[in-house]
Amino acid sequence: MKEINQKEFEQEVIKGGKVAVDFYSTECPPCEALAPKFDNLSKLYGEEVKFVKIFRQENRELAESLEVNGSPTVIFYDNGNLVGDKLTGGIKRSELISNLNSLIPEEKVEEIASKIKPRVSEYDTLILGGGPAGLTAGLYLCQARVKAALVDIQLPGGQISTTHKISNYPGFVEPQPGYMLAHFMSEQTKICGTKYKVAVDVAHVDLKNKTIVVDEFETIKAKKIILATGASPRYLNVPGERELKGNGISYCATCDAKYFNDKEVIVVGGGNTAIEEADFIAKFAKKITIIHQFDKLQANKEAQEKAFSNPKIEFVFDTEPRGFERNGNKVKVQTENIKTKETKTLEGDGVFIFVGMQPNTSSFEGDLETDDWGYIKTNEDMLTNIDDVYAVGDIRSKKYRQITTAVADGTIAAISVTRELDSY
């Protein structure tokens, strides 16, 4: 693997045959997560594909000319032609392998695959999920000198990574950007000593035997498992929703609000998330129409007051979406008043949906006792119905789901695990 600059790009990349290029930055957690994967794959594929790294901050002109706007970004060349996917952010090993395999003959793919040797890692505790609950558990465990690994299919931070501002986390006088609070938590736990295996593919979870398989070749075994996989946005499950996801419909204001500068946006929902995110979207959009199924908002009073006083925001109550479709650059929303049954069509440049969350339990469904909504039941020590398996954070059955309650869950589980391990 070779580090180059923009002066060498023509010779090393454009004229370099088959090349994988990593644009990285300093003080970049996703770059740090990618580095060992990129390095290991360079050793496997190095005879067939050239691997180069470019420091994006010192080669900004080149990066901008290639529309590389974030770090890390990996792009692929075949004899001077840009090919494959542009990978960015939390890049998975499987994504890299897929693009590398497309560059080389099939017989070479099989040859390289035969060189990948399965390995087994063992830990005292395995944490599945890197949101506030999982990170807190990892912090307490490493401080107790418990050998722990934290595994996440994305980068650490969970939902707070895509939350605009967080104003109710103790210790900060001013509201904190969600991504920065996530960064502080993640760095604290990593520096403490918890081993991170993030932006990976989790292929198999065996809770009974305390074993998981990541990236199809590494088996991780543990004495205890803490489930902290959180929850994901709930779908409306109406026609057109999934088809337009990422193409007019979004579930993340922090991610996508900036693309609706001086445009008209429709927001679906009336709880805390919907109303607080609508206030953030209003920094960009010129008009917001909030559709809510009830005749009153469910958000906290402070959020409601801000929304009602914002001249950009309008409300349509007692109404639910019945379908979505594109109309050129616009998104049409078919709605129905649930009291009068009157139907109307609203139109906007984009739609944001915030109608609640659902637990991320699909990879281990059927093994755990859950409530009627699919959240995992635990006792006061966060222990589930399966021996040595704990659940914390938004995945757990409980009355309130906040960052502070997630952190509390992680604390309790880690202390419970530590005492259990000490008694062996």
Give the closest residue to 322 by CA, choosing from 332, 311, 309, 334: 334
Second-level CATH architecture of 2-115: 3-Layer(aba) Sandwich (3.40)
Residue 216 has pLDDT above 90, yes or no: no
Decide if pLDDT at 126 tops 70: yes
Strands 330-337 and 319-327: antiparallel
Instruction: Provide the pLDDT for residue 182.
Output: 93
* CA gap 381, 379 in Å, rounded: 5
**Does position 403 have pLDDT exceeding 70, yes or no?**
yes
**Alpha carbon separation from 207 to 126, 131, 146, 363, 391 (Å, rounded):** 11, 20, 20, 10, 12
Instruction: Name the architecture of domain 241-353.
Output: 3-Layer(bba) Sandwich (3.50)
What backbone phi and psi angles, to 5 degrees, belong to 357?
-125, 165
> What burial letters (b/e) apply to 194-231, b meaning 16+ CB within 10 Å?
bbbbbbbebeebebeebbbbbbeebbbebbbbbbbbbb
Burial class (CB in 10 A: 0-12, 13-18, 19+), 382: buried
The runs of H, that is alpha helices, within 74-155 are 93-101, 106-115, 132-143
* 245-281 per-position pLDDT tens digit: 878 999 888 778 888 999 999 999 999 989 999 999 9
Band the pLDDT of 294: cuts 50, 70, 90.
very high
Angstrom distance (rounded) from CA 100 to CA 51: 10
Q: What is the pLDDT of residues 231-240, one digit of tens each?
A: 988 899 999 9
- The answer to whether domain 119-232+357-422 has CATH 3.50.50.60 is yes
Q: What is the pLDDT of residue 218?
A: 92
The full length of the chain comes to 424
Q: Give the whole-angstrom CA distance, residue 236 versus residue 243.
A: 12
Over residues 193-207, mean pLDDT: 91
Which string of DSSP letters, residue by residue, matches 24-43?
Answer: E-SS-HHHHHHHHHHHHHHH
pLDDT in tens, 150-161: 999 988 999 888
Residue 14, token pair as written in the block: 């454009």
The bridge status of strand 211-214 relative to strand 218-227 is antiparallel
pLDDT per residue as tens digits for the range 317-372: 999 999 999 999 999 999 999 999 999 999 999 999 999 889 999 888 668 999 99
Q: What residue spans of 240-366 are helical by DSSP H? A: 241-244, 253-256, 272-281, 301-308
Enumerate the CATH 3.50.50.60 domain ranges in the chain, comma separated: 119-232+357-422, 241-353
- The 3-state DSSP class for residue 166 equals strand
**How far apart, in whole angstroms, are the C-alpha atoms of residue 47 and residue 51?**
10
| Candidate from 47-51, 248-252, 373-377 with smallest mean pLDDT | 248-252
Three-state DSSP at 101 gives helix
Instruction: Assess contact for 414 and 136: CB atoms under 8 A.
Output: yes
- CB neighbours of 319 closer than 8 A, spacing ≥ 6? 291, 292, 293, 335, 336, 337, 338
Distance from C-alpha of 90 to C-alpha of 13, rounded to nearest angstrom: 24
**Where exactly does CATH 3.40.30.10 map onto the chain?**
2-115
- The proportion of the chain whose per-residue pLDDT surpasses 70, expressed as a percent, equals 100
